[in-house]
Amino acid sequence: MAALRSIGTALFLLLVPQVSSSGTFELRIHEFVNGRRLLAAGTRCVPDCRTFFRVCLKHFQAVVTPESCTYGSAMTPLLGTNSFRVAASQNAVRLNFTFKWPGTFSLIVEAWNSPSDQSSPNVTSPEMLISRFAIQRQHPVGMAWSQDVQRGEHTQLHYSYRVVCTHHYYGERCSDYCRPRNDTFGHYTCGPEGQQLCMAGWENKYCAQPICQPGCSTLNGYCDLPGECKCRFGWQGTSCADCVHYPGCLHGTCQQPFQCTCKEGWGGLFCNQDLNYCTHNKPCSNNATCTNTGQGSYTCTCQPGYTGINCHVPIHKCGSNPCSNGGSCMELDESYSCSCPPGFVGLHCEDSTLTCTDSPCFNGGSCFTRSPGVPYSCSCPLGFTGLNCEQKVDRCTSNLCANGGQCFALGLTRTCGCQAGFAGLRCEINVNDCARNPCVNGATCFDHINNYTCVCPAGFSGRDCSERLGDECDSRPCHNGGTCHAGVYGKSFVCQCPFHFMGGLCEIPVFPSPSQKRQQPPNPFPWVAVSLAFGLMAFIMLLCVLAMAVRHIQRPRGWQHRDTETMNNLSESQRDNLVAAAQLKITNKAAGLEVDCRAAKSNQKPRNCAMDWNLATVLKADPSKELKCHKNHKCRKEETLPLRSSCSEKLECRIATIAEAQGLMYQPVYRAAEGRQQDVITEV
């Protein structure tokens, strides 16, 4: 919000001068002549005309009116009496305006008399007016004064005027604003015409853009002050034209930040493996053949006469003992010479003049006479050789060990004792000292001959980078097994939390890990809840048993006699149509019941008209029209009607309808006679 407010203020300050201006109209009075001491009304001043002036500046008018000084007005102090001259040191009358000067104006200059009895000048009394001059002029902005004279009936006025721009305003109409500044919003001064002149090292419209160091990359560099060249992230160099290599890159280049493009002959993630050591370093001397063995190692195959790791050690001509049979070798400039012992001749003393009689074989050798022309031949024991078995067999002579290895002859075999850092049958392999990963904590290992170097990451030191430098992780701030990393993402340390924890210090558990679940004890069986449930069920069952017992005890002894009431559970109106209960007798005999077949076929509720017919027969009465209705099945129409129909008014239908409506288990059949007790036949 503060930044937005500052930007808004800056825009306001930049825009305001374009729509407003400021200048000053200056008027200087030189001389006023009133020799007759007269006022404008024609009267004379008593004793003298003590004169001051009122100036009114307004917009251009063809006919000047004294009202509304639109550009401003001002009054002078008392300048003199009657006729007088104004000293040059007297301040000019200044009228400031805050608009574009239009180039034209109207001016009213009034001379007033101030009587001696008034403490201050007063222009409210018209009788004190001495004279009034009104002019219309077209005048540009400038420093030059314009002279003018106004003459009245009895007065004269000599004066001059000009229009000038106030400080920080320029132009023909004082409409160009320029204020020197040296702050965040600009660094410039103002020219004579109001133009902005940038200070040294700044450019653009408002002189707010610094000029960076010459050659500074416009894409990868920037500056906050003139002459600087600050590099953006991933770039470096005085001109910010060089990209930053991938950390640890040794022999690589980059086109973009954090690349590591290996140079020719180098490989690996950090371009630290010399793939062509022989070409880069040429370690072999004396025309020896160099062979790259990888990872910065090599092997030199020496020319005859030289030895050593780099074939830099010359082999003496007599070093191979070319003279046989005990001959002495003498080195010459280009060759050697053998001085043979007695009995031997030849270039290498290889020819013998002895015979077996002279016992020429040494070291237990056996002498044999050979063919004519060859005096003898010696059969040498194991470990000796030569014409006379005078030379001990040295199997290391023809199989020199490389890289300073020492040859040892063991019977018929030979082996090389290699120096530290080399291996192989001939010690030709440079052992990679980095193979055993001596560098720890993510350090990079560089192999040397019988040595190595560890390039430690930030926060570690020592030969093997095993010594941790002091950092924020020394106090072990991460909880619950979190891993602390110092100096990551611009922070002092960052905790890498395990799967089941979160938070800045890994202090917030997300959910228990499987190992934590295994460590947690199993949930105990809820014996208390089960016991309470069983107890509640037992209590409810006990209450039910008690309720049934109480109900059984409270039942009256003559409950059997109320079956008739249950059986005839009818309304009072229905009971009135039946035979009195005292005249009924239950015989519990089965009574055949028939169902109207046509009612069944019509899916209507069957009527027990057959039972009604039997009832009429038992009563031994002539069937009435209503009974004939049942006998001839004339009640079919009534079966579809409600219970209270015309048929149900008859005795037979009432009995059948009541039985059906009540859904009784017993279908009673009544037989009544005159004054006799009748039987009631009931079917179960």
Indicate if 343 and 409 belong to the same structural domain.
Answer: no
Residue of 614, 681, 605, 684 lying closest to 642 (CA atoms):
605
pLDDT of residue 297: 78
Question: 499 and 421 share a domain?
Answer: no
Are 150 and 198 members of one domain?
no
Q: pLDDT tens-digit profile of 349-398?
A: 877 677 788 788 888 888 887 666 567 788 898 878 877 788 877 767 66
* Residues contacting 405, CB < 8 A, separation 6+: 416, 417, 418, 419, 422, 426, 427
- Final residue before a domain boundary, out of 138, 170, 202: 170
Does the structure show a pLDDT above 90 at 613?
Answer: no
pLDDT of residue 240: 94
pLDDT at position 523 over 80: no
296 and 200, same structural domain?
no
Query: What is the residue-wise DSSP string for 511-523?
Result: S--HHHHHHSPPP
* Domain match, 43 and 60 both: yes
Closest among 168, 170, 164 to 193, alpha carbons compared? 170
pLDDT top residue among 253 and 458: 253
Q: How far apart are CA 310 and CA 288, in angstroms?
A: 8
Tell me which residue has tokens 């000084």.
69
| pLDDT for res 612 | 43
User: For residue 75, what pLDDT is reported?
Assistant: 92
Here the CATH number for the domain that contains residue 501 is 2.10.25.10
Q: Is the pLDDT of residue 119 over 50?
A: yes
| Range 156-191 burial, b when 16+ CB lie within 10 A, else e | bbbbebbbbbeeebbbebbbbbbeebeeebbbbebe
- In this prediction, residues 291-308 reach a mean pLDDT of 80
465 near 472, Cβ under 8 Å? no
pLDDT band at 106 (very low <50, low <70, confident <90, very high): very high
Mean pLDDT, residues 188-198 taken together = 90
Does residue 28 register a pLDDT over 90? Answer: yes
CATH of the domain at 142: 2.60.40.3510
Residue 111 shares a structural domain with residue 200: no
For position 600, what pLDDT does the model report? Answer: 39
> pLDDT (tens digit, 9 = 90+) per residue, 128-179?
999 999 999 999 999 999 999 999 989 999 999 999 999 899 988 898 889 9
pLDDT at res. 636:
42
373 in any annotated domain: yes
**Number of domains comprising the chain:** 6
Neighbours of 433 (CB within 10 A): 19
Same-domain pairing of 598 and 642: yes
Q: Which of 303, 299, 324 has the alpha carbon at shortest distance from 313?
A: 303
- pLDDT, tens digit, for every residue of 531-576? 888 899 999 999 999 999 998 887 655 544 444 444 444 444 444 4
pLDDT for 190: 92
The answer to whether residue 4 scores a pLDDT higher than 70 is no
State the pLDDT confidence band at 266, using cuts at 50, 70 and 90: confident
Specify whether 32 is located in the same domain as 162.
Answer: yes
Per-residue pLDDT, averaged over 292-317, amounts to 81
| pLDDT at 22 (0 to 100) | 84
Q: What is the rounded distance in angstroms from the CA atom of residue 107 to the CA atom of residue 58?
A: 6
| Mean pLDDT to the nearest integer, 206-219 | 92
Please report whether residue 299 resides in a domain.
yes
Report whether 352 contacts 388 (CB < 8 A).
yes
Supply the pLDDT for residue 10.
42
pLDDT at 626 (0 to 100):
41
305 falls within a domain: yes
**Span between the terminal Cα atoms of the chain, in Å:** 100
pLDDT of 397 reads: 67
Residue type, 406: Q
User: Is 114 a member of any domain?
Assistant: yes
Residue 261 pLDDT: 93
- Both 33 and 109 in a single domain? yes
Is 476 part of a structural domain of the chain? yes
Residue 610: per-residue pLDDT: 40
Instruction: Output the pLDDT for position 487.
Output: 63
Domain stop point among 170, 191, 222:
170
The dihedral through the CA atoms of 490, 495, 498, 503 has a sign that is: negative
Is 122 part of a structural domain of the chain? Answer: yes
Confidence band (pLDDT; 50, 70, 90) for 510? confident
- Mark whether 622 and 502 lie in a shared domain: no
Residues 53, 142 within the same domain: yes
Give me the domain span that covers residue 507: 470-514
Q: Is the residue at 273 inside a domain?
A: no
Judge whether 654 lies within some domain.
yes
Considering only CA atoms, which of 154, 76, 77, 138 is closest in space to residue 106?
138
Q: Are residues 111 and 156 in the same domain?
A: yes
Higher pLDDT, 489 or 318: 318
Give the pLDDT confidence of 617-629 residue by residue, as tens digits: 433 444 444 434 4
